[in-house]
Amino acid sequence: MKAPHRLFFASVILAGAITTEAPGGPPFKTDDPQPVDFLHWEFYLASAQQFERHDTWATCPHFEVNYGIIPNVQLHLVAPLGYAHAGEGTHYGYSDTELGVKYRFVDETEAAPQVGVFPLVELPTGDENKGLGSGKVQAFIPVWAQKSLGKFTTYAGGGLWYNPGPGQKNWLFTGWEVQYDFSEVVTLGGELYYQTADSEDASPTGGFNFGGFINVNENNHILFSVGESVSRPGTVTGYIGYQLTI
């Protein structure tokens, strides 16, 4: 996978609603269909990292905002500062901007999961030559589903990334996450994910992440995860963030 696209994959957070009842999305790559409550806000200050044997990519930090504009619909923005160290070059600056809308069209019942869509658009505001962006408008059209059973919650889904440009390929992402509420303060979980090749010279990749959420109180939350690519040995990913809910 080419360096700009490794950065892109590491820095894009498939963000979703995180509440004290059923957190999802960050700190994992897999998202959920649950939008922010009507007229409520989520603010994130976070960093996502990808470490390889000789290269490093990260958001340092990225700022994320989600707003429940109408019932079952949230607006979404991610504004990232990116860090890229590949070979002998090191660069830091503004990366690609992410915009999105999450819409839940099926509510959860005792028998059925909740289901929603979360289309995202990546605007090429970063410098592609420095590994801080893709250089093209990209888009992701996923479908997510979630079901809870007592203190267990699981969500899964995926979709297609539109990835234009010479030598590039549209690619699929899919993931599955399971988590358990150990208390009102601590939730821990893990995910498996897989993506097809995003360029002609790339290979499919997959991996796992373990992480969780610490609810300091009703409005303040700490998020974290760490994982590894099973198809790219030596590649470690991580996420650490603070979330404010209002």
Q: Within a 10 A sphere around the Cβ of 170, how many other Cβ atoms?
A: 13
The predicted pLDDT at position 14 comes to 33
pLDDT at residue 10 above 60? Answer: no
Q: What is the pTM of this model?
A: 0.87
3-state secondary structure the chain: CCHHHHHHHHHCCCCCCCCCCCCCCCCCCCCCCCCCCCCCEEEEEEEEEEECCCCEEEEEEEEEEEEEEECCEEEEEEEEEEEEEECCEEEEEECCEEEEEEEEEECCCCCCCEEEECCEEEECCCCHHHCCCCCCCEEEEEEEEEEEECCEEEEEEEEEEECCCCCECCEEEEEEEEEEECCCCEEEEEEEEEECCCECCCCCEEEEEEEEEEECCCCEEEEEEEEEECCCCCCEEEEEEEEEEC
- Which positions ≥6 away from 21 have C-beta within 8 Å? none
The predicted pLDDT at position 89 comes to 86
Query: In terms of residue numbers, what domain contains 36?
Result: 3-245
Looking at the structure of the chain, the number of domains it has is 1
Nearest to 176, CA basis, from 34, 72, 44, 24: 24
**For position 146, which CATH number holds?**
2.40.160.40
**pLDDT-based confidence at 173, cuts 50/70/90?**
very high
**pLDDT (mean) for 15-24:** 33
Q: What percent of the chain has pLDDT over 90?
A: 80
